[in-house]
Amino acid sequence: MKRQLVFSLAILLFLFSATMVAIMYGRGYRFGLTSGKIELSGTGLLVVSSLPDGAQVLVNDKLSTATNDTINLFPGQYSVKIVKDGYFVWQKSVKVQKEVVTKIHAFLLPNAPKLESITALGVTRPVIDPSGSRLAYTIASQSAKKNGVYVMDMTTRPILTLQSASTQIVSDAQVNFSDAQLSWSPDGTEIVATISASPTQSTTYLLDASGFNNNIQDITNTLPIVNQTWEKEIAEKEKARMATLKAPLRKLLEENFRIISYSADETKILYTASASATLSYVIKPRLIGIDSTPEQRNVVKDKIYVYDIREDKNYALPISSTINYKLSNEKSSMIDNKSEALASVSWMPDSKRLLYTHDKKIDIMEFDGGNQTTVFAGPFEDNFVFPWPSGSKIVMLTNLGNTNISSNLYIITLE
């Protein structure tokens, strides 16, 4: 009887121990060598994914797995590289914490991207609408009937070529619109075309962006009123956006930020520091399992940063503070914006990367400043570079260095 009891207790103890080990294993504990002894130590989970998938994952330069997998690692700092043939190497220093899931996602960029023209008639002064989905531009190299203002919808799926995605909304048969400076209304439904007869004299027309304008509207005399109305629209939208933020965050923005633009999902802010200062923490205690890239809370006036609202982290960007950076889409839509140039730095549609043009190069980097990669180096017209709405392409204006031909829109395919 006593023997039976001991045997039963042994079984119960074994089951209890096995259950505890299983629970600890599920929580990430693994046997490892610590101080010369084999001990059960807590690990963290590193979830690795990539686009495209099927890439190799190297941890501290040792092949560990393929992307779209989970790795158990002991707490510490690790160098992670993601490698795939035909793509630039992606790398990041990642901090792994005990019992914490850390996620990384790599956007792999091809080292030989495809270049393809999407217009053929010669394009000037393209401008992107506030939604980032349509381009307005002028054509001046053809007959009066074909010259004028065009709108390209980048969300359509043309059956044959992307060249069929453009629609003419006004022609030079009415007015010489091919010489016009274009800008979008804040809601993206209208386009303002300003034609200068001299440095001191110009005429401004309001065009419907949805189709051909048989009747054009001259708003030269009412331009101040239209401007005032649109400025009020923009101010109300910004006020509503700020009202959704908690008071400490609003204070942080008002005291330290000159906002360039919000990311598409409005979780991150691209800005220049309005003054040199130390940013106070908004989220206390600090979150775990977040981006382990070192942040910069001490900001320098006029330097460019990205602030992550969800994680309350601030990143300094490897970008010159003297660039002609892009204002937000709402601000760049103002009629009185005289600059043709769009930004040298702007958001990609996925809200996780930035598009940066400099020194005749087009770069893409992550919002925390990591993995800055040149996807095109060559002739293109400064500042006329835009992301495709899906983020799968970049649009640029170029004549490919041939001064004997007009510039056209080309796409750089990133997938």
Lowest mean pLDDT among 272-286, 317-331, 392-406: 317-331
120 — pLDDT class (breaks 50, 70, 90): confident
What is the pLDDT, as a whole number, of residue 341? 36
pLDDT beyond 70 at 73: yes
Q: Which of the four pLDDT bands, split at 50, 70 and 90, describes residue 4?
A: low
pLDDT at 78: 96
Beta-carbon count within 10 A of 33 CB: 10
Pairing of strands 148-153, 298-299: unpaired
Q: Give per-residue pLDDT as tens, 214-261.
A: 999 999 999 999 999 999 999 999 999 999 988 999 999 999 999 999
SS3 for the chain is CHHHHHHHHHHHHHHHHHHHHHHHHHCCEEEEEECCEEEEEECEEEEEEEECCCCEEEECCEEEEECCEEEEECCEEEEEEEECCCECCEEEEEEECCCCEEEEEEECCECCCEEEECCCCCCEEEEECCCCCEEEEEECCCCCCCCEEEEEECCCCCCCCHHHHEEEEEECCCCCHHHCEEEECCCCCEEEEEEEEECCEEEEEEEECCCCCCCCEECCCCHHHHHHHHHHHHHHHHHHHHHCCCHHHHHHHHHHEEEEEECCCCCEEEEEECCCEECCCCCCCCCCCCCCCCCCCEECCCCEEEEECCCCEEEECCCCCCCCCCCCHHHHCCCCCCCCCCCCEEECCCCCEEEEEECCEEEEEECCCCCCEEEEECCCCCCCEEECCCCCEEEEEECCCCCCCCCEEEEEECC
pTM of the model: 0.85
Q: What is the pLDDT of residue 34?
A: 46
Tell me the mean pLDDT in the region 111-136: 93
The pLDDT value recorded for residue 198 is: 79
pLDDT of 414 over the 90 cut = yes
Q: What is the pLDDT of residue 11?
A: 67
Q: Quote the pLDDT of residue 46.
A: 95
pLDDT band at residue 331 under the 50/70/90 scheme? very low
CATH number 2.60.40 is the correct assignment for the domain at 2-107:
yes
Q: Is the pLDDT of residue 346 over 50?
A: yes
Reported as a pLDDT band with limits 50, 70 and 90, residue 322 is low
Q: Which amino acid is at 186?
A: P
Domain boundaries, the chain: 2-107
Binning pLDDT at 50, 70 and 90, where does residue 190 land?
very high
Spatial strand order of the sheet with 62-66 comes to 62-66, 56-59, 76-83, 90-96
User: Pick the residue with more confidence: 381 or 315?
Assistant: 315
The average pLDDT across 279-290 equals 91
Mean pLDDT over all residues of the chain? 86
Write the Ramachandran bin of 86: left for phi over 0, alpha for psi from -120 to 50, otherwise beta. Answer: left
